[in-house]
Amino acid sequence: MHYFEYKNDQLYCESVPLRHIAEQVGTPVFVYSRSTLERHFKVFEEPFASVDHLICFSMKACSNIAILHVFSELGGGVDIVSGGELFRALKAGVDPSRVVYSGVGKTASEMDEALAAGILMFNVESEEELDLLDKRAQLLGTTARMAFRVNPDVDPRTHPYISTGMRRNKFGIQFDRATDLYLRAKEMVGIDPVGVDCHIGSQLTELSPFMDAVAKLRGLVEDLRKHDIDIRYLDIGGGLGIPYDEEDPPLPADYGAAILDGVSDLNLKLILEPGRLLTGNAGVMITKVLYLKQGPEKLFVIVDAAMNDLIRPSLYQAYHSVWKVQRKAGESDAGDRIVADIVGPICESGDFLAQARELEQVQSGDLLVLMSAGAYGFSMSSNYNSRPRAAEVLVDNERFYVIRQRETYDDLIRGERLPEGARPHRNRKGVHDVFRGLYRGSDSVQKRPGG
């Protein structure tokens, strides 16, 4: 459920017409609904109310500090995978004692940062990582609370790129080596093994893989307790899918009940790491139609957003519904419809946002909305083709806030420089003369065409 809906054929986010945002902030722009974010968090958390638990938003899904702040206000923590994510989380005011740190390639300096912050737990993914963590903790005169991320070898039945809990994947430690590794960890001065963790994949649309993984984890916890290893945290990871198109993923209530059924008697603190479920359908991307082009085989709707803004269709053949910001009265029924590929300006045939999509007639200047773009949308965007990244907006009832400014051309080259001694080629006109001439009143290169 989300708060993007038509009122008199105009698409609103909560009480704000998306057209207003596009007019004031430009396109492409990501728009998030605060009420939807809060609702998703609460609906996800509810089934766990009867047990000690912590919801750690997997912030790779949507890492804007304003979004992290929304969840942190609701008592949530975060699942991080880099020093950069720790930095963002701290900037957003997330309590470090609610941070868990996953990922197969943590560096020494990233470990140091997380140790200094005093995070709740490292989810360690290899024996060599454990050795380094022990060393860094000792050097800093502290101990690292940790869990092993175990690879339970269950098939999540999702896209191969986002399936992580099978033997062939790079993630986690081999399940049948886990007890031995915990026994090693227990002897280390800098290490305090306190938890067991897994994350088997993303966009799961069935419960059974979660239940299989939880059953395996339960067996491990019991075994470790027999070896006097006091496991206090059980981190189930994230992965619950959302409807993008026709999928019918389990409801959070059923997911929660299934997890609790497997572990509620273990007297552990449960950690959950939802990403997509919290933000996916709480965010959309607005883009403007630039041109229509009829090719010999296909109709192309060329828009001002591209694969650098939303890479999911190109990378995972992902489906995002396309809605019009202003639909014609009654047009949703039938009549004037087209089938088109919605493509961006990037110089690759893989640059598409939707393929062979049936939609209402569109024309140059129309605003389209890519739905369900709140997870792995902006956070996976890039500057490919030297395209400044989009703006992000948070809607709160009848108000909206720009929570990330559109990047400028200056942002594109921040940190770049010519090699020492190189003499800059002199343009007949300086770059700033060109852009100042186009955008009167702007001191620096603030805007971009169409933006």
CB of residue 212 vs ligand LLP: minimum separation in angstroms? Answer: 17
Nearer to ligand LLP, 26 or 201 (CB): 201
Among 6, 87, 300, 316, binds ligand LLP (CB under 6 A): 316
The piece of 13-21, 274-282, 326-334, 443-451 that touches ligand LLP (CB under 6 A) is 274-282
The piece of 213-221, 347-355, 374-382, 401-409 that touches ligand LLP (CB under 6 A) is 374-382
* Residues 276, 239: Cα–Cα separation, whole Å: 7
SS3 assignment for 284-350: EEEEEEEEEEECCCCEEEEECCCCCCCCHHHHHCCCCCEEECECCCCCCCCCCEEEEEEECCCCCCC
191-197/233-235 β-pairing: parallel
In the residue annotation, 347 being an active-site residue is answered as yes
Instruction: Please compute Rg for the chain using Cα positions.
Output: 24
Q: Phi and psi at residue 153, in whole multiples of 5°?
A: 55, 55
Among 152, 190, 195, 275, binds ligand LLP (CB under 6 A): 275
344 belongs to the binding site for ligand LLP (CB under 6 A): no
Q: Quote the longest CA-to-CA distance of the chain.
A: 78
Among 13, 21, 61, 307, binds ligand LLP (CB under 6 A): 61
Residue numbers 376-415 binding ligand LLP by CB under 6 A: 376, 380
Among 190, 238, 256, 344, binds ligand LLP (CB under 6 A): 238
CB of residue 320 vs ligand LLP: minimum separation in angstroms? Answer: 11
Nearer to ligand LLP, 380 or 412 (CB): 380
Among 88, 98, 106, 276, binds ligand LLP (CB under 6 A): 276
Binding to ligand LLP by CB under 6 A, coded x per residue (else -) over 21-60, reads: -------------------------------------x--
266 belongs to the binding site for ligand LLP (CB under 6 A): no
277 belongs to the binding site for ligand LLP (CB under 6 A): yes
The piece of 91-99, 325-333, 372-380, 432-440 that touches ligand LLP (CB under 6 A) is 372-380
Nearer to ligand LLP, 199 or 389 (CB): 199
Angle in degrees, 0-180, between the axes of helices 83-91 and 108-117, rounded to the nearest 10? 30
82 belongs to the binding site for ligand LLP (CB under 6 A): no
Distances (CA, A) of 116 to 60, 68, 88, 120, 129: 22, 21, 15, 11, 18
212 belongs to the binding site for ligand LLP (CB under 6 A): no
77 belongs to the binding site for ligand LLP (CB under 6 A): no
CB of residue 285 vs ligand LLP: minimum separation in angstroms? Answer: 13
274 belongs to the binding site for ligand LLP (CB under 6 A): yes
* Residues 198, 193: Cα–Cα separation, whole Å: 15
102 belongs to the binding site for ligand LLP (CB under 6 A): yes
Which of 264-281 are b and which e, b meaning 16 or more Cβ less than 10 Å from the residue's Cβ? eebebebbbbbbbbbbbb
Q: Which neighbouring-strand residues pair with 193?
A: 146
**Phi-psi domain of 345 (left: phi exceeds 0; alpha: psi -120 through 50; beta: other):** alpha
Tokens read off for 356:
């062979």
Contact 219, 231 (CB under 8 A): no
* Residues 96, 68: Cα–Cα separation, whole Å: 13
CB of residue 330 vs ligand LLP: minimum separation in angstroms? Answer: 35
273 belongs to the binding site for ligand LLP (CB under 6 A): yes
Nearer to ligand LLP, 16 or 124 (CB): 124
* Residues 143, 317: Cα–Cα separation, whole Å: 43
CB of residue 277 vs ligand LLP: minimum separation in angstroms? Answer: 6
Residue numbers 142-171 binding ligand LLP by CB under 6 A: 162
Contact 305, 353 (CB under 8 A): yes
CA 82, 87, 89 angle in degrees (round to 5)?
A: 95
312 belongs to the binding site for ligand LLP (CB under 6 A): yes
Contact 311, 271 (CB under 8 A): no
CB of residue 275 vs ligand LLP: minimum separation in angstroms? Answer: 3
Contact residues for 337 (Cβ-Cβ < 8 A; gap 6+): 358, 359, 360, 361
* Residues 81, 56: Cα–Cα separation, whole Å: 12
* Residues 162, 205: Cα–Cα separation, whole Å: 13
The piece of 237-245, 300-308, 395-403, 412-420 that touches ligand LLP (CB under 6 A) is 237-245
- Point out the catalytic residue in the list 13, 56, 198, 347: 347
Nearer to ligand LLP, 27 or 163 (CB): 163
Site residues (CB under 6 A) for ligand LLP?
A: 58, 61, 79, 102, 162, 199, 202-203, 237-239, 273-277, 312, 316, 375-376, 380
Q: Which residues are catalytic?
A: 347
